[in-house]
Every structure is written in structure tokens, then in C-alpha cells.
């Protein structure tokens, strides 16, 4: 139970609460137990603690949990979603009531901290991206089919239109999970690789197949995950966070001075993580576990071939 010791009871409960707020009705108790390396009974006790302090828990037909949308929470959630235009207007309002004052500067810093794009992995959220997100959310709420126009696929190395049923949209993960009608199966897409979203009039026809899959901090969708533990030096830690901002939540101070501990569940093929290790091993990366990761790295190096 190394993870239990790593997180501690209070930290784990806060992380679970954050997960329920940011990704409602996505995880079952079993999946949360796997994520934090504890038993299902422990997660049940954590849920009881969350309920005791006033948060109302709820679950869907697949026993995936979320928080009931009480009115104050809904209003707060809506408040946190500022567009760039909203932020500009707020800055102008601050200048009018507290121009060039210490209080005005503090208010601007609070606004920036509240909507820190880079920290949350939102660096690409410009107006075209927000427009795509709005259309994806509309299609999800209305249960409409859509066309992902000019989708740039890394797997096939081609650009095509994809007709899908979108059922999970996560801007922080840059991820869309959808049912691909032509391929007749679940697929995940990077929102940033979609050129345009076109709404269709046709309703969903495959809702029974819509199953949300787990996404790791490298934005790889995979329900079959592995626990990884690394020790990083300062340079490696900085590179990891800059290239994969979502990993920051899983990094803690290391035992030795100027070292950091990275531990979390990742996809079982280690996509993203292997690219980081191979590209930045010289910055100081020690693999603690699993041994399977070392095997994947050796195979990846062996497959590299360069002509003279």
C-alpha cells in the first residue's frame, strides 16, 4: 500500500473530492480504489467522510460517482468558466475602480490564479478552441451526432472527417471520447486536432455502447493501467510538468534534497511516459517501478533504426 502512505488519508480524500468535481460520473469505487492503491472499503469510508462535511454524493446507472448539483455549487462552477473576453472586461472593470493601486494588482493576480491556463493544461484555450468545446458540449447535452472535420490522426497519419457520438468532453485533458459510427466502436480524440465541429440533426443511436474510459496524465485513454514510480531531479521534474501539465498533481518532494517523487497510474503501454524518459533521461530520471517499464524501454530502443 505504498500509495496510501504517499498520499495520506487527508490528501487522498481531498484528491477524490477534486476528482468528483472535475470529472463527475466518470469513476466507480473500484476505479478510485485502483487509482489510489487502497481497498473499495477504504473508498467507501472516504465517501462517508465527504458526506459528513456536507457534500452530497450521487451515482449513475453504472455506479460512477459525482456530486449532486446543488445551486451554490452550480453557480460557482459557472463563475469559474471565463472566456478571454470575460477576463478582459474584468481587467477593465478593476482598472476603473482601483486603477494603479495595490488592491487592483491583488485582484488581477487573483483573477489570473483562478483561471491559470498553463497550470491546468489550458494553454491552447483560445477562441477557436472554446468554440469547438462549446459545440461538443452542446452535442453531448442534446445527444446529437457530429462530424469532426479534418481530424488529424496520429495513429493513421491521415486527415479525415469522422462521424461520431460525443459522450465525454474534457478540455483539461484535451480529450473527446466518442462512439465512431463508421468504425463501430469507441474512440478517443484530441480536441486540439479537430479543425471544426459540425452539428448534425441525427440523434445518438449507440448510447448503450457509451462507456467512459480512464485517461492518464499523459492524455492516453486506457482502462488497463499500470502504477509507475519515478525519482526525478530538478531538470527532469521541470521538463515533465512543462510537457505534461497534468502530471504536476502526482509529483511530491523526494527523500533526498533536490529530488522529486512521481507516482501514478498510466496506460499499460506507457505511451507519453516513454517519450519523456527517452528524451530527457539525461536530466535525471530513476525508474523505481515497475520492471515492465524497463522492458518496454529496451524494446523501444532496439526498434530505433537509423541509416548511416
Listed residues 180, 209, 238: the one ending a domain: 209
What is the pLDDT confidence band of residue 111, given thresholds at 50, 70 and 90?
low
**Is the predicted pLDDT of residue 83 greater than 70, yes or no?**
no
**Is the predicted pLDDT of residue 5 greater than 50, yes or no?**
no
46 and 91 within one domain: no
Q: Give the CATH number of the domain where residue 287 resides.
A: 3.30.70
Domain of residue 93, residue span: 81-114
- 22/125: higher pLDDT: 22
55: which DSSP letter? P
* Residue whose cell numbers read 452542446: 138
215: which DSSP letter? B
Q: Give the CATH number of the domain where residue 140 resides.
A: 2.30.30.180
Least confident stretch, 6-10, 113-117, 221-225? 113-117
> Is 58 a domain residue?
yes
> Is 36 a domain residue?
yes
What pLDDT is recorded for position 288? Answer: 94
- Is 285 in a helix, a strand, or coil? strand
Q: How far apart are CA 248 and CA 241, in angstroms?
A: 6
> Is 217 a domain residue?
no
Q: How far apart are CA 4 and CA 26, in angstroms?
A: 22
Listed residues 152, 177, 209: the one ending a domain: 209
> Is 215 a domain residue?
no
**Is the predicted pLDDT of residue 234 greater than 90, yes or no?**
yes
Q: Give the CATH number of the domain where residue 50 resides.
A: 1.10.10.10
Q: How far apart are CA 226 and CA 211, in angstroms?
A: 20
108 and 51 within one domain: no
Residue 163, C-beta contacts closer than 8 angstroms, at least 6 positions apart = 145, 146, 147, 148, 180, 181, 182, 200
Q: How far apart are CA 216 and CA 174, in angstroms?
A: 12
Least confident stretch, 121-125, 170-174, 238-242, 275-279? 121-125
* φ/ψ (deg, to 5) at 183: -85, -10
95 and 65 within one domain: no
What pLDDT is recorded for position 127? Answer: 65
Question: Please, are residues 33 and 40 in contact by the beta-carbon 8 Å criterion?
Answer: yes
204 and 162 within one domain: yes
Q: The C-alpha cell of 100 is what?
A: 494603479
Can you point out the beta strands (E) in 137-254? 144-152, 159-170, 175-180, 185-190, 196-203, 225-233, 251-253
| Cis before 290? omega within 30 | yes
- 143/78: higher pLDDT: 143
Listed residues 162, 180, 209: the one ending a domain: 209
Chain-wide mean pLDDT for the chain? 81
What pLDDT is recorded for position 109? Answer: 63
The predicted-structure confidence for 276-292, as pLDDT tens digits, reads as follows: 999 999 999 999 999 99
Chain-centroid distance, C-alpha 251: 15
100 and 35 within one domain: no
Question: How many domains in the chain?
Answer: 4
The predicted-structure confidence for 25-53, as pLDDT tens digits, reads as follows: 888 999 999 888 889 999 998 898 887 77
Residue 302, C-beta contacts closer than 8 angstroms, at least 6 positions apart = none
> Is 109 a domain residue?
yes
Q: At what angle do helices 40-52 and 9-22 cross, to 10 degrees?
A: 80
Q: How far apart are CA 240 and CA 292, in angstroms?
A: 21
Q: How far apart are CA 214 and CA 289, in angstroms?
A: 21
Question: Please, are residues 194 and 210 in contact by the beta-carbon 8 Å criterion?
Answer: no
- Choose among 308, 252, 174, 280: nearest CA to 6: 252
Cβ burial of 280 (10 Å; 0-12, 13-18, 19+) is: middle
Q: The C-alpha cell of 7 is what?
A: 498520499
256 and 187 within one domain: no
Provide the pairing of β-strand 175-180 with 159-170: antiparallel
What pLDDT is recorded for position 177? Answer: 93
202 and 136 within one domain: yes
66 and 15 within one domain: yes
The predicted-structure confidence for 142-201, as pLDDT tens digits, reads as follows: 999 999 999 998 777 889 999 999 999 887 778 899 999 999 999 989 898 999 999 999
What pLDDT is recorded for position 224? Answer: 87
| pLDDT more than 90, % of the chain | 38
What pLDDT is recorded for position 181? Answer: 95
> Is 162 a domain residue?
yes
Residues in the chain: 308
Amino acid at each position: 500500500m505504498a500509495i496510501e502512505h504517499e498520499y495520506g488519508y487527508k490528501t487522498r480524500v481531498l484528491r477524490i473530492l477534486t476528482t468528483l468535481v472535475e470529472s463527475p460520473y466518470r469513476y466507480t469505487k473500484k476505479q478510485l480504489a485502483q487509482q489510489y492503491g487502497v481497498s473499495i472499503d477504504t473508498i467507501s469510508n472516504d465517501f462517508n467522510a465527504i458526506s459528513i462535511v456536507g457534500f452530497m454524493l450521487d451515482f449513475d446507472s453504472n455506479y460512477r460517482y459525482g456530486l449532486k448539483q446543488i445551486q451554490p455549487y452550480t453557480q460557482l462552477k459557472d463563475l469559474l468558466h471565463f472566456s478571454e473576453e470575460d477576463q478582459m472586461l474584468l481587467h477593465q472593470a478593476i482598472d476603473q475602480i482601483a486603477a494603479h493601486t495595490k488592491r487592483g494588482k491583488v485582484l488581477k493576480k487573483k483573477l489570473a490564479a483562478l483561471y491559470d491556463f498553463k497550470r491546468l493544461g489550458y494553454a491552447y484555450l483560445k477562441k477557436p478552441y472554446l468554440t469547438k468545446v462549446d459545440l461538443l458540449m452542446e452535442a453531448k447535452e442534446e445527444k446529437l451526432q457530429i462530424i469532426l472535420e479534418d481530424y488529424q490522426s496520429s495513429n493513421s497519419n491521415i486527415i479525415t472527417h469522422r462521424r461520431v457520438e460525443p459522450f465525454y468532453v474534457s478540455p483539461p485533458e484535451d480529450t473527446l471520447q466518442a462512439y465512431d459510427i463508421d468504425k463501430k466502436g469507441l474512440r478517443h480524440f484530441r480536441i486540439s486536432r479537430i479543425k471544426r465541429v459540425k452539428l448534425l440533426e441525427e440523434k445518438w443511436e449507440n448510447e448503450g455502447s457509451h462507456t467512459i474510459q480512464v485517461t492518464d496524465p499523459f492524455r492516453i485513454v486506457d482502462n488497463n493501467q499500470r502504477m509507475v514510480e519515478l525519482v526525478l531531479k530538478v531538470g527532469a521534474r521541470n521538463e515533465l510538468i512543462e510537457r505534461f501539465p497534468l502530471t504536476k498533481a502526482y509529483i511530491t518532494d523526494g527523500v533526498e534534497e533536490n529530488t522529486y517523487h512521481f507516482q501514478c497510474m498510466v496506460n499499460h503501454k506507457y505511451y507519453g511516459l516513454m517519450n519523456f524518459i527517452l528524451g530527457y533521461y539525461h536530466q535525471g530520471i530513476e525508474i523505481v517501478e515497475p520492471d515492465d517499464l524497463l522492458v518496454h524501454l529496451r524494446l523501444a530502443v532496439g526498434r530505433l533504426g537509423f541509416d548511416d
